[in-house]
Structure 1
Amino acid sequence: MKPVRVLLPINAKGTTSACADAAFGLARRFEAELEVLHPCPPPSQRLPYATELSPIYFEAYLDVSRKQVDVEEKEATAWFEKTSAKWADVESQLLTVEGLVGPAVAQRSKTADFSVLPTVAAADDEMFDEARDAALFSSGRPVLFVPDEAGGNIGDTIVIAWKDAVESARAVACAGPFLEGASLVRLVSLIEEGEEEDETALAMANYLAAACLPVELQSVRLGDRDVGDAILEEAGSGVLLVMGGYGRWRWQEWVFGGATDYVLRNTDVAVLMSH
């Protein structure tokens, strides 16, 4: 099914140029609606120590917070109007939601075909950290992570980082609209030391070929490389990378390192990820 809605979460200053170009450009390509979401915490949720304040100071802080909300909403509106004017042929709308970032993004991303967010390296701050987590873990939908280096024609060549896992299969399914327009699809199967070639990689390649997609299967020995580093190295430049996200418990990736976190911090190509 062709995408009908793309979600672009922003803060008061908007989002990165690469992220905005990707979201508007893909909405144009797929003839989809673009929903620009500005989650704005209300005044009452900006006072972490409110219970320790006297009523007089509480009201004063609340008044300051109200003014800050107004400022942020005006800034977000100005950014949207300026950016959308460059993409006049794209159906887009700004939705400002007064609420916490995580719940707001989780709710709206459930009714979008995919969300578009900057990679960790492109925007490493609290707002986008919460938005990335909510879109990836709480929506059931894929997320397109866009680095500053991403080119405008996302998806002409697609690289699928394949492994025999539910997350990989789900990512391929979510990439359907991108795959249909690709000139080349490379399915890369990384083989760790002591492992045999992954039979499911060949099965997936045959499945994609049966759908008349220009697919090439590449089985690559991992060697002494970390998985995340190997994925990016084998993907190369100027591609859309499709992969599953956080195939093991996230705390394990935090403690021991993992491919997902490494890719989100180091990629210079756009990554379509599904958990």
Structure 2
Amino acid sequence: MSIRTILVVLEADTAVEVLLDGALEIAGTMESHLEVLLLQSDPEQLLADCAFTPLGSIPIEAVTAARDASATAIRDRFTAWRAARELPVDIVDHKLRTTYARWSNWQGPAEIGLLRRGRLADVIVMAGQPRRLGLSSALIDTALFDSGRPVLFLPDKPIGPPLGRVALAWNDSLQAVRCLACSMPFLHEAERVYVFSVGSADALPGRDRASIPAEDVAEALSWQGIKGTLVRLAPQADETVGARLLREVAELDVGLLALGAFTHSRVREALLGGVTRHVLDHATIPLLMIH
């Protein structure tokens, strides 16, 4: 799998320049291009989302004007960002490896706009730590569960080289298998690769019982020319798997963590917490996820 198209999803509260810089770091290495998409909800939906604002107290024309003004300001920031980095607006001389940045926006239900564009991208880039940055859970669910594409969550601060050290979290789940496949371009570019053994997924319903140990994953990577260092993670009694995973990431100075998302049901994750939710809420490095 090659990475040619990276869809960067922006919302009104997104740290625009930081997110674009992080995506460009990946695009420059992968010789891919950026499709930048601003999602704008309908005015009616914006009013409905204002739970503490009585319906009818704000004219819909005012909501529309505010939304459009915000979109113009974000596009101006994007244009200035692109000019400062001397990026073309489209492909140059029919070269597929042109790194350019192209703008578009979607007005309407955000989930539909994300799917219309995201399903045709090789990777979807979104802001990390979504609760703090205002991304809705519905939009994250859409990206992870319905797009069929890997999602790269980037932090809201400048990042170091994300492909210096890359870690793959392995728990023998179907999601981990999918993550292994979609992370191959990133693993090939990494200076060093770690395979984190975070236990098995024996409790998952419908498994085929064909347990694959992390050692086999590391060996399979070697046949791709990738030398993976096996790291066994054993959480302490008072430590969750997600917390243990992030502690190891920090100790090894990992720049990108790849893991399967939501190996348990969303209901269980919401009620009891889970690795995916903990990592999404607390990671300060790029996360590559797929369900």
User: Which stretch of the first structure deviates more once superposed, 5-14 or 166-175?
Assistant: 5-14
Deviation at 1:122, TM superposition (A): 7.7
How far apart in 2 are the matches of 1:200 and 1:2? Answer: 27
How far apart in 1 are the matches of 2:260 and 2:127? Answer: 17
Is the 1:37–1:95 contact (alpha carbons within 8 Å) kept by the matching residues of 2? yes
1:97 lines up with 2:110 in the alignment: no
Residue matched to 2:208: none
Residue matched to 2:23: 23
User: Which stretch of the first structure deviates more once superposed, 143-152 or 89-98?
Assistant: 143-152
Residue matched to 2:155: 147
1:204-243 paired onto structure 2 within 5 Å: 204-224=217-237, 225-236=239-250, 237-243=253-259
1:58-77 paired onto structure 2 within 5 Å: 61-77=59-75
**What is the DSSP-based 3-state SS (H/G/I as helix, E as strand, rest coil) of the residue aligned with 1:221?**
coil
| CA deviation string 1:179-218 (max 9, x = no partner) | 11111111010248xxxxx752111111001111021112
Residue matched to 1:261: 277
Residue matched to 2:207: none
Is the 1:22–1:152 contact (alpha carbons within 8 Å) kept by the matching residues of 2? no
Q: Which amino acid aligns with 1:30?
A: M
Deviation at 1:142, TM superposition (A): 0.8
Residue matched to 1:186: 194
1:163 lines up with 2:171 in the alignment: yes
The alpha-carbon distance between structure 1 residues 64 and 91, as it changes in their structure 2 partners (threshold 3 A), is same
How far apart in 2 are the matches of 1:166 and 1:191? Answer: 14
Is the 1:122–1:147 contact (alpha carbons within 8 Å) kept by the matching residues of 2? no
Q: Which amino acid aligns with 2:115?
A: A
| TM-score (ref. length: structure 1) | 0.86
**What is the DSSP-based 3-state SS (H/G/I as helix, E as strand, rest coil) of the residue aligned with 2:121?**
coil
| CA deviation string 1:6-62 (max 9, x = no partner) | 01111235535432211122122222121111111233444449xxx99xx79x823
Q: Which amino acid aligns with 1:177?
A: P
1:106-117 paired onto structure 2 within 5 Å: 106-117=115-126
Show structure 1 runs of 5+ residues with no match. Answer: 193-197
Q: Which amino acid aligns with 1:93?
A: R
Deviation at 1:70, TM superposition (A): 2.4
| CA deviation string 1:64-93 (max 9, x = no partner) | 233223212211211211221233234111
Q: Which amino acid aligns with 2:279?
A: V
Let me know the Cα RMSD of the aligned residues: 2.5
Is the 1:161–1:188 contact (alpha carbons within 8 Å) kept by the matching residues of 2? yes
Residue matched to 2:77: 79
Residue matched to 1:195: none
Q: Which amino acid aligns with 2:168?
A: I
Aligned length: 263
How far apart in 1 are the matches of 2:72 and 2:17? Answer: 19
The alpha-carbon distance between structure 1 residues 65 and 268, as it changes in their structure 2 partners (threshold 3 A), is closer
Residue matched to 1:200: 213
1:133 lines up with 2:141 in the alignment: yes
| TM-score (ref. length: structure 2) | 0.82
| CA deviation string 1:127-158 (max 9, x = no partner) | 45443222112101111111235623112211
Q: Which amino acid aligns with 1:34?
A: L
How far apart in 2 are the matches of 1:123 and 1:16? Answer: 15
How far apart in 1 are the matches of 2:77 and 2:214? Answer: 44
Show structure 2 runs of 5+ residues with no match. Answer: 88-98, 201-210
Q: Which amino acid aligns with 1:20?
A: L
